Structure 1
Amino acid sequence: MSALIVEELPDLHAVIRSAADGIEEVLERARQGKGLYEDGMARIVLTGGGAGIGTLEELARRKTDLSNAHFFFGDERNVAKDHPDSNEGQARIALLDAADIPEEQIHGMGLGSVDMDSAARAYEDVLATFAPKGFDLHLLGMGGEGHINSLFPHSAATKEQEKLVVAVEDSPKPPAQRVTLTLAAVALADDVWLLVAGEEKAEAVALLKAGAPAVELPAAGAHGRKSTVLKVARNAL
């Protein structure tokens, strides 16, 4: 488990640029055979929110070569991928569709009209098939109360220690029904980056830096095997 590294950046745009630079480095390492897998492919977990989607838009603007990556999602709302609330849908609009990535390299959760528990089990199977050793990189946003993915303070999903994917029926942030990767899944990433900006996040950032318990501040439970980096704008400090 890696210790938290804090990378202070001027603003949201700098957070986005730093994340995009880092993703390009992760992709290049994989191409050179220096990633987690020996097939030249990186495994990257995407996140939503302003910084997460902004990073994808920056990669699209740069026309970054994403052909050697499998993409996964940290969580998803119980909506179809063409719904405005869908994380997969937002990622496709921001980057994935325009980047002409083969569908077999985009691993959505397929929600909207399926049983939530069944969807969670199915996504565990997806991870076992396409990311059996875990991820090169897991991107995370953070809410003002410290939630990551759909792991909220004091929730059963946050306390889960064995399953990699669970259904959430009572998210305090609507929509209530979601599927999320757990802290156990986050821990399978070599690198974990938290992308954070906004004055409303300052209290949570302070608690994160102080090492608050994960059950109270889920972001504090996110650690990569090799690195854990908080890329934070100054307005969140």
Structure 2
Amino acid sequence: MERSALVTGGASGLGRAAALALKAKGYRVVVLDLKEGGDEGLLYAVGDVTREGDVLRALEALPQPPFAVVNAAGIGLAKKVLGREGPHDLESFRRVLEVNLVGTFNVVRLAAWRMRENPPDAEGQRGVVVNTASVAAFEGQIGQAAYAASKGGVAALTLPLARELAEWGVRVVTVAPGLFDTPLLQGLPEKAKASLAEQVPFPRRLGRPEEYARLVLHVLENPMLNGEVIRLDGALRMAPR
């Protein structure tokens, strides 16, 4: 049976790896991102996860209601609450929460409404939602107040969403990645990246986007995974700075 998937933030990084892995598994994939990626057989819907109309257009581009939704869109911010030039501005704090938390919820609510139309499979499933948090949800560093709060919110959404959507046969799981080699880190000097990799107990390196994608596929294939936040971090526990 052909299945469809919506991947947010799929033009690069973790989202792109997930979108390509889903396509390789035979899913019809639509990517919702602010920009288009390379031509790899993926269909791109340029838009913002915080805008209802953009999300609806992406869902309408799918040939049928999505079975899989992967929320990987997000932004980061490094800013102290008490900086040299004054207190943390509210605008940037709000923007990070708007994209990372409100955007995730916006996609889930609209996609889950469509998922109800899917015929249940042998397990009674109509769909699976995989959200993306971060280890910063649990060990936010100095300067990560906005980012940690947004990802903590995504983690906290997991169980109530899973409990409510269980009625419709929709599972919800959140992945909390550690340090991954994504565009967010690729702009750093090699020395800085090597220093970050040294913080990971094992394997002592940055995570690879395809490892995130492999976990996404496993979540889709294992119906007992539900209502859980899964750390993908090589036993990393972030220090204060």
TM-score (norm 1): 0.30
Find the structure with the greater CA-based Rg. Answer: 2
Higher relative contact order (CA 8 A, sep 6+): 1
